Amino acid sequence: MPGMRLKIVADYEELGREAARLVARQILLKEDSVLGLPTGETPIGMYRELVRMSREGLLNFSKVITFNLDEYVSLEPSHPQSFHHYMQVHLFGHLAIPPEQIHIPDGTAADLEEECQRYEEEIARHGGIDLLVLGLGLNGHIGFNEPGSDWGTMTRLVVLSEETRRREAGRFGGLDLVPTQAITMGIKTIMRARRLLLLASGEEKAGIVREVLQGPIVKEVPASILQLHPDATMILDAAAASKLNLCRVGGASAGRPRTPG
Ligand code: GLP
């Protein structure tokens, strides 16, 4: 069985374009694809490119179904740091996609446990996720599955790690303003997606990228489980790939870093 496919590109811009090409191929193959989508800085370039493709008539999102990976608990959708708001700004606000085809966990639901269950059922009702795009947390988290998360977890309520909250403190205007909980797809929800696309950019991710791809599969590095997914691709820019031992990427086909032009 093939290991995780690895593609190394020159820089952030190329990462965005390459990721968008993979998503575009999925949509062209199946117009009613079910996509899983991430937030964070990493996928912004990909979203920009998808918006361009859609504007130029290359891609049609009108039948696409989307499920976001996660959302903070207690933030209203209009809150500037909510993932609802992020998705509107970077993607949905620029696409002709019917709102009922967009799914993001509701962190303001009266019954959060019920919301998690409803979300998981909704994914199943749509036949599961065809392609799930993931960013990578500095501590190896995927979605908000923090280190120590059980492999068998489904969509659930989680407590955010101190490290994750500190990283977000600037954006929220202080650590106290960062929510302490989130709703996230679980590791099992993620592993059930038929195809996975993991993205990482920049030197600060180089250490964790090496652990994820070349380290043991351990709960302390949640993304390391992706080594076992039968159809996973990781796209890295050269900086994020800089600590990899390219002679021993297990089963992966490592492309050479490309220079633009
Ligand atoms: C957040 C999100 C993750 C994302 C991670 C990395 O914690 N919940 O889904 O992958 O941040 O973000 P960035 O791309 O900004 O490094």
What is the tens place of the pLDDT at every residue in 26-55?
999 999 999 999 999 999 999 999 999 999
- Contact present, 178 and 165 (Cβ < 8 Å): yes
Minimum-distance ligand 1 atom for the alpha carbon of 70? 8
156-159 β-sheet, strand order: 70-72, 181-184, 156-159
State how far the Cα of 181 lies from the Cα of 105, in Å rounded to an integer: 13
Tell how far the Cα of 39 is from the centroid of ligand 1, in angstroms: 6
Residues designated catalytic: 70, 139, 141, 146
Minimum-distance ligand 1 atom for the alpha carbon of 202? 16
Cβ of residue 158 lying under 6 Å from some atom of ligand 1: no
| pLDDT higher at 84 or 3 | 84
State how far the Cα of 233 lies from the Cα of 100, in Å rounded to an integer: 29
Q: Which amino acid is at 240?
A: A
pLDDT digits (tens, 9 = 90+) for 144-187: 999 999 999 999 999 999 999 999 999 999 999 999 999 999 99
Predicted model pTM:
0.94
Minimum-distance ligand 1 atom for the alpha carbon of 43? 14
Question: Is the pLDDT confidence value at 260 over 60?
Answer: no
User: Class assignment of domain 4-237?
Assistant: alpha beta
Domain residue ranges of the chain, discontinuous segments joined by +: 4-237
pLDDT digits (tens, 9 = 90+) for 91-123: 999 999 999 999 999 999 999 999 999 999 999
Cβ of residue 69 lying under 6 Å from some atom of ligand 1: yes
Question: Is the pLDDT confidence value at 261 over 60?
Answer: no
Instruction: Take residue 14 and report the two structure tokens written for it.
Output: 């190329």
| Nearest-CA residue for atom 11 of ligand 1 | 40
Tell how far the Cα of 173 is from the centroid of ligand 1, in angstroms: 18
Q: How far is CA 41 from CA 46, 195, 202, 245, 261, in A?
A: 10, 22, 11, 26, 25
Tell how far the Cα of 61 is from the centroid of ligand 1, in angstroms: 24
pLDDT digits (tens, 9 = 90+) for 191-248: 999 999 999 999 999 999 999 999 999 999 999 999 999 999 999 999 999 999 987 6
